[in-house]
Amino acid sequence: MPKVLIPLAPGAEELEAVTIIDLLRRARFEVTVAGLEPGPVTCSRGTVIQPDTGLDAVLGDAFDLIVLPGGLPGADHLRDDPRVQKLLRQQAARDGYLAAVCAGPRALAQAGLLGGRRVTSFTGALDGTGIESTGAPVEVDGRIVTGRGPGAAMDFALTLIEQLAGREARDAVEGPLLRP
């Protein structure tokens, strides 16, 4: 069962966070939602999410995948947090999966992990980073998966399932969703 870390910052996009958490748990992934700060996290639209734990409690743990939700200012908090930056670099060094959606790829760019890669993000989220977004709903380049924004959250999460557990696992989660 893949082990997944979702760091959650104040101002995260709740539609993305909840969709990713839900679908990965439907796939029976072991998902840990870790708040950057102690206690509940207030997301960008006022939804409050109670993380499973604090980020400090999982800094020594190994994960198959680290996923960064977008939203502002949540994505900027992820980008600017030295603990998150260290985790991202460590994950890349051990050839683990990394994923970010919407403005979340800002943190991957800050960590120096997107150079020469095919990535997507929310319009303008990567301005000033030297990284160009393709504008596609989801991009997979090696072990880095990026998504465009809230509207692509379900496709993004399903792609993560497929990357880590295969097409059959994705189909098992997607079928009961009754997507058009």
Residue 97 to residues 10, 158, 176: CA-CA distances in angstroms? Answer: 24, 14, 26
- CA 55 to CA 175: how far, in whole Å? 33
Alpha-carbon dihedral of residues 144, 21, 73, 84, nearest 10 degrees?
-50
- Cβ neighbors of 90 (< 8 A, separation 6 or more) are none
Say which of 24, 31, 102, 126 is annotated catalytic.
102
Element (H, E) at 16: helix 14-26
Residue with tokens 């949540």: 74
43 is catalytic: no
The residues annotated with a catalytic role in the active site are 102
